[in-house]
Structure 1
């Protein structure tokens, strides 16, 4: 379980900005051992939120061994005087290795600091800006049966620590990418490392007694000075490499975007003619159309038509899309075009585009049937086969229709994305939907151009946009 303390109630006098009360907490033994075990397992994330007074230096999180000489094992310190964070840990040789990182700690704002250790990889970020992420093979964390772990600086000399902390958490795993999904990887300045040869001792007070620190600096060997200078050169090289990688990625991103825009501007070539992205070219002789997609692909199919709600649309001569025929008036009642009914025995009437045509049938004209079950529907003259698999015997439906068996014959229904009477089906052009229809039926929306397909459609992104989902595209240039 995560170890999480909200320090607001514990440090009521140290939360408000510019209040100079100290903050400090020593973790109980059980919790300290639980957190340190995460360090030993090389799988720990430390998260702090601090506010620091100007010209102040604080120890945010520190761990010491127990014994006559309390040795520093790990610490995160911050300085508003120099605007720097210090990450310190003990190496296998007993030396203290320090990472010095630049961060704007004196800006009078709260700062969320996240440290993560995963194997030999260390990562430290401040307000979702990555300060360091690298492999370090000097890391050394071993079991410590007795240790002291502090949140905030131990005030041994009763000097007031000018700073405030309102959240601290420690848990397994790396919380960086959960808390910072858009982590800024650009390094503003190089990382400086240094190594202190002697083991750092303390008496629970401040992290290191100033006299001890001064003597350690004086006793540092020439070889360590050379090693520190060499490490600094390596850090500068790593910084330059990171910058080259970052700007290389930026350039590649803009190059890809430029090529995409150029592709949009080129359009598509159809029959020796260039048409722009989203444009259609229709052939009214065979009622087909071709449309240019954003990828440069050309989609050709039958011309899509507005969706008509009538059951029997008719296509007039010289037109590619049908229309609803005229209604018929019969005995004071209106009937839609194509409607067929039997008003009297052996009399069949059909509405033909505003004109009702009725025919009288005679029984001797009936065809001979070879089926076992035969019935004569109401008012009809001739018997028909009943309960047969009409779709299997003879399917009269259009290729874009589905056949189902009714009692007296097959029933044809146009498939989704098409309309008509089933024996003739037309493609619905979903790109002709108005805004209300797009909202209700799920048409193309923000940053897209609609491409009509047989029985369906797809939404292509406009130049400079990136696909968000099947119906929306995001303006990546503004983002």
Structure 2
């Protein structure tokens, strides 16, 4: 094997079984002043040449004459006679047996457009394996014709193998190009966004209407999702609606008779005395039983410390009676209905607000099962969904996989 930085070529020359010589010359960028790792692989009749993990040449050649030897002698930086020496620099040389090329180049790149020139020459002398020369007498015409026919058949076989290799490579790269084309079309489709009120909303973008506290978000599939503005959940039992704001806040607690009461909490400390915590101020009033509304139901009962009787054993959750929010669950209790916001909502049950799960931090997403890698979170009333970003493929309901890296 010889290299030339003048012509940027690597040349591989070997003896053939017909006592001639064969050369393969291939292009390689050798004149850049950098170190180049050249790997030459000989596996039976298969030859492979790699430069800096770029495959320059791979060919099966049945003319190569390398019969097994117990002792192999390698000339490094010179030819077998020692007359021609390598003028460049050689930093490292290793010889391995049965060592896969992929162990040295995990990401082997095949160069498709690298031309390889093949030359065949005959010789009247034969180079023995010990470096000595032996004269070869010219063969008779019949032997020459048989040899020419043999060489021609070998050349046809090589061309057929090369065509088969190119066809396989063409099919492979055609599939790769088609896959990338489909992905690009998918990304372009997603990037078109959604239409909202005559304008284009890009995917992932939110459009909020603070007048009616609604929002619309364009998903990566081009679907427009509209609903009430989601809010971060609050831990207080009675959130306070703030004027000109869509999301509530927790009111201040009240301190009364040695303990704290939540904002919005109602209790009856003594007979006919009703107390109500209103944003840090406790409002207690005496109720006169003479002002109680008249009820005709039976049976009736006065709750503890209250003044007015209420109906018992009736369906407080029946239509027209319940005071619960549409996103709350009504439960009949002894003295009235109990309203509890459904999962995905928060509030006191009379008013329920949608939880925006897309505002969870990473810890909350890990603990509560939020959207993870390669996704875009879409908030829905009482729930959420995870759409895959362009270039990602759905793995499960919460994760998407980067298909370009597959």
TM score, norm. by length of structure 1: 0.51
Q: Pick from 376, 395, 418 the counterpart of residue 302 of structure 2.
A: 376
CA distance in 1, matches of 2:194, 2:377: 16
Give the aligned partner of residue 416 of structure 1. 343
Q: How does 1:222-371 map to 2 (within 5 A)?
A: 245-371=171-297
Structure with higher strand content: 1
CA distance in 1, matches of 2:270, 2:257: 13
Give the aligned partner of residue 462 of structure 1. 389
CA distance in 2, matches of 1:373, 1:82: 103
Q: Pick from 338, 359, 362 the counterpart of residue 435 of structure 1.
A: 362
Q: Deviation string for 1:65-112 (max 9, x for gaps)?
A: xxxxxxxxxxxxxx952359xxxxxxxxxxxxxxxx99xxxx85599x
Q: How does 1:66-215 map to 2 (within 5 A)?
A: 81-82=44-45, 108-109=97-98
CA distance in 2, matches of 1:233, 1:412: 83
Q: Deviation string for 1:20-42 (max 9, x for gaps)?
A: xxxxxxxxxxxxxxxxxxxxxxx
> How many residues align structurally?
272
Report the secondary structure of 1:382's partner residue.
coil
Name which one, 1 or 2, has greater alpha-carbon Rg.
2
Cα deviation, residue 312, structure 1: 0.7
CA distance in 1, matches of 2:188, 2:173: 22
CA distance in 2, matches of 1:422, 1:277: 34
Report the secondary structure of 1:392's partner residue.
coil
Cα deviation, residue 332, structure 1: 3.5
CA distance in 2, matches of 1:378, 1:457: 43
Cα deviation, residue 384, structure 1: 1.3
**Which residues of structure 1 form unaligned runs of 5+?**
1-78, 85-100, 112-185, 189-231
Of structures 1 and 2, the one with the larger relative CO (CA 8 A, separation 6+) is 1
Report the secondary structure of 1:390's partner residue.
coil
TM score, norm. by length of structure 2: 0.59
Cα deviation, residue 396, structure 1: 1.5
RMSD: 3.4
Cα deviation, residue 236, structure 1: 9.5
Matched, 1:453 2:361: no
Cα deviation, residue 233, structure 1: 12
* Residues 372 and 240 (structure 1), Cα distance of their counterparts in 2 relative to 1, 3 Å cut: farther
Report the secondary structure of 2:318's partner residue.
helix
Cα deviation, residue 280, structure 1: 0.9
Give the aligned partner of residue 401 of structure 2. 474
Cα deviation, residue 355, structure 1: 1.8
**Which residues of structure 2 form unaligned runs of 5+?**
1-41, 48-59, 62-95, 101-109, 113-157
Q: Pick from 304, 309, 334 the counterpart of residue 407 of structure 1.
A: 334
* Residues 315 and 237 (structure 1), Cα distance of their counterparts in 2 relative to 1, 3 Å cut: same
